[in-house]
Amino acid sequence: MTTLTLVSTTRLSSGHLMPLLGFGVYQNYTTRDSVLEAFKAGYRHVDSAQAYRNEAHVGEAVRDSGIPREELFITTKIISKFHGYESTLKGVDESLARFQFDYIDLFLIHDPFAGRERRLATYKALQEAKDAGKCVLTISLLTPDSGVKHLEEIRNAGLPMPSVNQIELHPFCQQRPIVAYCRAHSIVVQAYCPILRGKLDDATIAAIATKYGRDPAQILLRWSLQKGFVPLPKSANPTRIHSNTHLYDFELAEEDVAALDALDEGKDGALSWNPVDAMEFVLLAWLLDPRFVSASTASATPSSMDARSAPIDWVLLPPCEFELEIVSASRNNSIHVILQGSQQLQNCKALRDI
């Protein structure tokens, strides 16, 4: 395979270059310091989001670093409450103001909760912002965590396909169908949760780490790179931030990549919530105790949902209106329900797809 380095990039379908290793930031009071430490370690790619309220801290770190803006690749994501054409344009302006940037390299759609019409309107608005050079460095805009269905909506609407799709990816959750679709359409796949929280002591991973004299996190990140993904590890620990970049002086043998590939558990191996399925958690919580869920906004409180699967928009931010198509899991009795604004939730027993 091609020799990789910390400054290696991948060329997107738009023609632009994106660093192969990114640094993810979440809701953390150490965001500024963590990003500065990441820059010291050699990262030049930072993944942020409106929902995580970290854009201003990332912008501050960029200015304080002294690194020219054009040498950095900064991503953010449009939150649910801005889905729709005009509201998306407003959301772009607000992100720019928080970052204090003239442009953002990559703007993702954070979730597919708006329903088909508003999903496409959001995507069109981001394309317009890109074409205007207002907020995106002429890069196609993306739909993180999108399933094939959502990408097909874009293609069938005759719109330019996205350059990137960001999904949870690691040996236990390899999402092979969507990865295959993305590769067939020249869509680069970014991997969030590339380091397995709570599974770093897996026997296979531990054995491979011992073989190469590496820690488990480095093995997982190297696997991600060799699979052709763009991993986005997170950390607020300076030592870990640096060690997560020590990936380029070894290469996993084919048999070790195959051993990690064999760990795939499909959907059951996911560590975080997937917006394609997240509404199931909300409505099941509502069925168990309607007091925890607002039927007018389909939002949930932290006590009604497992923290691992709770959509961050619903738990930590004001409720927002959206519409969803919910399809029951029953093969013999598919129920299609549209939820919009104050329309009451329907008492569905099993739900599958957004």
Domain of residue 170, CATH code: 3.20.20.100
Same domain, 257 and 285: no
Boundary residue ending a domain (238, 267, 296)? 267
Same domain, 137 and 187: yes
pLDDT at 80: 79
CA-closest candidate to residue 230, choices 27, 35, 40, 43: 43
Same domain, 183 and 304: no
pLDDT at 298 over 60: no
Domain count along the chain: 2
pLDDT class of 146 with cuts at 50, 70, 90: low
Of 88-92, 143-147, 155-159, 214-218, where does mean pLDDT reach its minimum?
143-147
What are the tokens at 257?
A: 């990549």
Residues carrying an active site annotation = 52
Same domain, 210 and 94: yes
Domain membership of residue 165 (yes or no) is yes
Domain membership of residue 350 (yes or no) is no
pLDDT at 340: 31
Domain membership of residue 99 (yes or no) is yes
Which amino acid does the sequence have at 354?
I
Boundary residue ending a domain (244, 267, 290)? 267
pLDDT at 194 over 90: yes
Q: Report residue 147 CA to chain centroid gap.
A: 12
Domain membership of residue 54 (yes or no) is yes
Same domain, 221 and 329: no
343 or 27, which is more confident? Answer: 27
Same domain, 130 and 66: yes
Domain membership of residue 4 (yes or no) is no
Same domain, 54 and 133: yes
Same domain, 252 and 327: no
The pTM of this model reads 0.78
DSSP strands (E only) in 65-205: 73-78, 106-109, 164-168, 188-192
How far from 20 is each of 12, 32, 222, CA to CA, in Å? 11, 22, 11
pLDDT at 148 over 70: yes
Domain membership of residue 347 (yes or no) is no
Average pLDDT over residues 174-192: 94
CA-closest candidate to residue 59, choices 90, 88, 109, 25: 25
Same domain, 175 and 46: yes
pLDDT at 227: 98
pLDDT at 331 over 70: no
Domain containing residue 247: 9-267
First to last CA, the chain: 38
CB 153 within 8 A of CB 116: yes
pLDDT at 318: 28
Same domain, 292 and 262: no
Q: Tell me the C-alpha distance between 236 and 22, whole Å.
A: 14
pLDDT at 335 over 50: no
Same domain, 297 and 221: no
pLDDT at 31 over 50: yes
Q: Which of 67-71, 320-324, 327-331 has the highest mean pLDDT?
A: 67-71
Average pLDDT over residues 239-254: 98
Same domain, 176 and 304: no
Average pLDDT over residues 309-320: 32
The pLDDT mean for the chain works out to: 78
How much of the chain exceeds pLDDT 90, in percent? 56
Q: Which of 19-33, 110-124, 212-226, 258-272 has the highest mean pLDDT?
A: 212-226
Q: Tell me the C-alpha distance between 204 and 8, whole Å.
A: 28
Boundary residue ending a domain (214, 241, 267)? 267
Domain membership of residue 96 (yes or no) is yes
Place of tokens 């990262």: 43
